[in-house]
Structure 1
């Protein structure tokens, strides 16, 4: 049992180190030797768990996918409106990105040409589905203008969210991401939400950003 626990801890250490390097330097610029050194493990330990760098990338993308689905489920359990659920989902992904490198690396790998292996779906396809379902619900609940093109808005929102991280990666610390997500929502709310419902969601965007800042302090 102790040996199994050590093996699991070693695997987690390797994945975290690889995710950190993939996020900071990119997949192609990171070697297995870099990961071994960063994780402070032997090459034998790495090869025991992962036969190739591609296996590491796939494992990270799978962890990122699991985290996204788990977050979506937790948000749905709150029983809030569809638009609030969507906002909480994006802020939750921002919080996960601040917390550790797995989510950040998953996004960078998805933009860096690393293919997702079946049955794992591409992260952006999965995110598009999560967002589209909540946009449809928000239209039905009259929190969004009834004539919006859900597919176009979903694609734009994914591009906005991912692009914010891509631009921020080289220009500002990851702790700035919640502020950028709040700014994103302030723009989207003014364009998509009927005037009478805007105050609720503008206030929510500010509150969700503040909650992440409070979480970081603890």
Structure 2
């Protein structure tokens, strides 16, 4: 049992170290030797868990996918409106990206041409599907204009969210990500939400930003 626990801890250490290097230097510029040195493990320990660098990238994207599904399912159980749940998902991803490298690395891998191996779905397709479902719910709940094309808006939302993270990686300090997410939502709310309901969601965006920056 103790041996199994140590193996799990070593695997987690290797994944975190790889994610940090992939995020900072990119997948192609990071070698397995770099990961061994950064994780402070032996090459044998790394190869026991991962046969190739691509396996490490796939493990990171699997964690990213599980994290998103867990976050969405947790919010579904709390009785939020569809639009609030969608906003909280994006701020949850932002919070986790600020707190650790795995989601940041997953995003960089997904935009860097690393192959996503079936049965894992491409993360952007998964995000888009969740956003589409939430936006359709928001239309039914009258939080979003009835003539909105939920699928088109979901595509634009995911594209803008990912784009803001990619641009921010080069131009902004990490701590500014919550502000960028709030700015994106203020723009989206003005285009999607009927006037009588806008104040609620603009206020929610500001509150969710504060919760991350003051945590």
Question: TM-score interval w.r.t. the shorter chain?
Answer: over 0.9
Other-structure match for 1:104: 104
Distance (whole Å) between structure 1 residues aligned to residue 48 and residue 80 of structure 2: 45
Distance (whole Å) between structure 2 residues aligned to residue 151 and residue 138 of structure 1: 12
Other-structure match for 2:161: 161
Q: Taking structure 2 as the reference length, what is the TM-score of the superposition? A: 0.98
Other-structure match for 2:79: 79
Other-structure match for 2:89: 89
Distance (whole Å) between structure 2 residues aligned to residue 67 and residue 86 of structure 1: 15
Distance (whole Å) between structure 1 residues aligned to residue 193 and residue 146 of structure 2: 10
Q: Does residue 44 of structure 1 match 2:44?
A: yes
- CA-CA distance at 1:193 after TM superposition: 0.6
Other-structure match for 2:22: 22
Q: What SS class does the counterpart of residue 59 from structure 1 fall into?
A: helix
- CA-CA distance at 1:176 after TM superposition: 0.9
Distance (whole Å) between structure 1 residues aligned to residue 52 and residue 12 of structure 2: 16
Distance (whole Å) between structure 1 residues aligned to residue 69 and residue 23 of structure 2: 21
Distance (whole Å) between structure 2 residues aligned to residue 169 and residue 30 of structure 1: 17
Alpha-carbon deviations, 1:79-100, whole Å to 9, x = none?
0110001000000000110111
Q: Does residue 117 of structure 1 match 2:117?
A: yes
Other-structure match for 1:127: 127
Distance (whole Å) between structure 1 residues aligned to residue 104 and residue 175 of structure 2: 12
Other-structure match for 2:13: 13
Other-structure match for 2:68: 68
Distance (whole Å) between structure 2 residues aligned to residue 108 and residue 130 of structure 1: 20
Other-structure match for 1:144: 144
- CA-CA distance at 1:149 after TM superposition: 1.4
Q: What SS class does the counterpart of residue 29 from structure 1 fall into?
A: coil
- CA-CA distance at 1:78 after TM superposition: 1.1
Alpha-carbon deviations, 1:105-128, whole Å to 9, x = none?
111110011111111100001000
- CA-CA distance at 1:50 after TM superposition: 0.2
Distance (whole Å) between structure 1 residues aligned to residue 163 and residue 187 of structure 2: 15
State the superposition RMSD in angstroms. 0.7
Other-structure match for 1:53: 53
- CA-CA distance at 1:21 after TM superposition: 0.7
Distance (whole Å) between structure 2 residues aligned to residue 27 and residue 140 of structure 1: 42
Q: What SS class does the counterpart of residue 214 from structure 2 fall into?
A: helix
Distance (whole Å) between structure 2 residues aligned to residue 202 and residue 75 of structure 1: 19
